[in-house]
Chains A and B, each alone.
Chain A
Amino acid sequence: MTGRERYIPYLFLLPALALIIIFNLFPTIATLIESLHGNSLVRGGRVFVGLGNFNRVLNDPVFWKSMQVTGLFSILVNPIQVALALGLALLANSKVRGITVFRSIYLLPVAVSINVTTVVWGLMLNSEGGLINGILNLVGIERQPFLISPSHALWSIIILATWKGVPLWTLFFLAGLQGIPQTVLEAARIDGAGRWQSFRFVTLPLLRGVLLFVLVADTVANFLLFAPVLLLTRGGPQLSTNLVMYETYRRGFVYGDLGVSSAMLSLMLLLVFAVIGVQFTLLRRRA
Chain B
Amino acid sequence: MATQTGTVAPKATSLQMLRLQHVWRRKGERLLIYVLLLLVALMALLPLMWAFAASLTPNAKVFEYAFPFSLRALFPVEFTLEAYEALFARGFGDALKNSFWLAGVTVVLGGTINALAGFAFARFEFRGKRILFLTVILLPFLVPVDLTAIPRFILVNTLDWRNTWQALIVPGLGNSLAIFLFRQFFEEIPQDLIDAARVDGASWMRLFYNVVLPLSRPVLITAALFLFLQQWDAYFWPLLVAPRPELRLVQVAISSAVEEHRTRWNEQLAGSMLAAIVPILLLLPFQRYYIQAVTSSGLKD
Contact = CB atoms under 8 A, between A and B. Distances in A.
The answer to whether A and B belong to the same complex is yes
Contacts of B33: 91, 94, 96
Nearest to B271: A119
Given A6-B126, A131-B67, A137-B69, A226 B45 contact: no
A75 interface: no
Contact of B152 (A23, A107, A172): A23
Interface in B185-207: 204
Contact of B120 (A9, A21, A31, A99): A9
Contacts of B121: 13
Contact of B147 (A167, A224, A276): A224
Interface residues of B, number: 93
19 contacts: A12-B117, A13-B116, A16-B113, A20-B137, A23-B152, A34-B154, A99-B37, A106-B40, A107-B287, A109-B44, A111-B276, A111-B282, A115-B272, A116-B275, A124-B47, A137-B69, A171-B291, A265-B147, A273-B142
A220 B142 CA distance: 10
A134 B69 contact: yes
Given A20-B136, A23-B171, A115-B254, A8 B204 contact: yes
Interface string B261-300: 0000100110110011001101110010001001101100
B40 A137 contact: no
B96 interface: no
A258 B295 contact: no
A167 B41 CA distance: 11
B151 A110 contact: no
A116 B252 CA distance: 11
A30 B151 contact: yes
A102 B66 contact: no
Interface in A47-71: none
Interface string A263-278: 0010011001100100
A135 B41 CA distance: 17
A245 B146 CA distance: 9
Interface string A197-220: 000000000000010011001001
B174 A23 contact: yes
Interface string A96-121: 10010011111111111111110111
Nearest to B54: A123
Chain A interface helix/strand/loop/mixed: helix
Contact of A96 (B30, B171, B279): B30
- A-B pairs with lowest CB-CB distance, top 6: A134-B69, A19-B174, A30-B151, A9-B124, A129-B63, A12-B120
A31 B67 contact: no
A113 B34 CA distance: 28
Nearest to B236: A226
Interface string A115-154: 1110111111010111101110110000000000000000
A115 B132 contact: no
Contacts of B4: none
Contact of B150 (A6, A19, A111, A261): A261
B231 to A, nearest CB: 11
A119 B268 contact: yes
A83 interface: no
Nearest to B229: A111
A108 B255 contact: no
Given A17-B132, A107-B283, A113-B232, A128 B67 contact: yes
A106 B44 contact: yes
B235 A24 contact: no
Nearest to A9: B124
Nearest to A268: B147
Given A107-B283, A113-B275, A210-B298, A16 B173 contact: yes
B69 A226 contact: no
Contact of B235 (A31, A99, A227): A227
